[in-house]
Amino acid sequence: MSKKLSLLVALVALLAFGTNAQTVEELKAQLAEKSAALGALQGEVDGLKAKIATFPGWKTGALATIGLNSNSFNKWLSTANPNSAATTFGITGNAFANLDQEKFFWRNSLSIAAAKTKLVGDKDLNDNLPDSLQAGFETTADAINITSLYGYKIAPKWAVSALGEYRSTFLTNFNNPGYLDIGAGVTWTPMSNFVVVFHPLNYNIVFAKDEFTYEPSLGCKIVADYTQSLPMGVAWRSNLSAFVSYSDPGNFSNWTWVNGFNFTAWKGIGVGVELGLRGNRQESYNSFLSNSAATAETVAISDFDDSTNDGENPVQSYFVIGLTYNISR
């Protein structure tokens, strides 16, 4: 009897194992089937998105990056300033409105970058100062750029185009200086996400008050804008805007290059970083005049060099890292 009972238990266990093994295999088969179906549906979704992206009509979108950094030290004796604090708040924003039709296109964009920083070297001392001498927020980044490009298509990838671009600051010294480029030429669009503007007929107008020395000039405008989706859901946008002066290329030319990366995690919210670089000899020259006893009469821009300005003819830069919010349709 005992032997029969043992055989019965073994048989039941074997049947249970076989049933479980069969169930697992069936579940794996169902999972493979569903995964294949999901992959097919995702392919259809991606195809529909691609058709929407290339469909003629208005495309609009906006992206904002907000960065905040704050630190405070109290009696941190290992530092030179044991009671210090610093706070930096920065924001960048990019918006576009593009119209693409069979015979023409119209591309418009707006970008801003701003940052404020407050640094307190000694909080104990600062708290005892009168309100008029309390440390406040200072502007550490300030830029606005508005661009409008119209093109009439003469070939699938080529268009005769006209461009207007305005660049300045908006928190401090608005339009002082301000740059306005107006010109015409051709636009090349080798891919839907890559646009190159070449305008050999362009006038660079510079707005500035009397204490600043800026010269407008005729020259060539070059703009390149590229967007790409990178692995892991990272979106990249790179924009280069350059002006080459015909009258004095070394002194009156300028360029700005901005790169932005963002990763969207949930419902348009994500993490992003934006890096901006600029080269502008006229701005370096006027900064030198503002911070020294020299004048435009004693030191002309043609005599201004690295040795004159203690090596300060730099590539200007800024970067902002923080949360992003993306709106597009």
Domain ranges of the chain: 1-55, 57-328
| CB contact set of 182 (below 8 Å; sequence gap of 6+) | 163, 164, 202, 203, 205
- pLDDT tops 90 at residue 220: yes
Rounded CA-CA distance 262/327 in Å is 13
Q: Does the 57-328 domain belong in CATH 2.40.230?
A: yes
Name the helix (H) or strand (E) containing 21. helix 2-54
What confidence tier does 16 reach under pLDDT thresholds 50, 70, 90?
A: low
Q: Which residues make Cβ contacts (< 8 Å) with residue 59, sequence separation at least 6?
A: 53, 96, 97, 98, 99, 100, 328, 329
Identify the pLDDT of residue 160.
98
pLDDT tens by residue, 254-288: 999 999 998 888 877 888 888 999 999 898 888 88
What is the pLDDT averaged over residues 4-22? 56
- The one-letter code for the residue type at 273 is V
The two beta strands, 57-72 and 316-328, are antiparallel
- Could you give the 3-state DSSP secondary structure of residue 173? coil
Which of 166 and 128 is assigned the larger pLDDT? 166
> Higher pLDDT residue, 131 or 249?
249
- What is the pLDDT at residue 19? 52
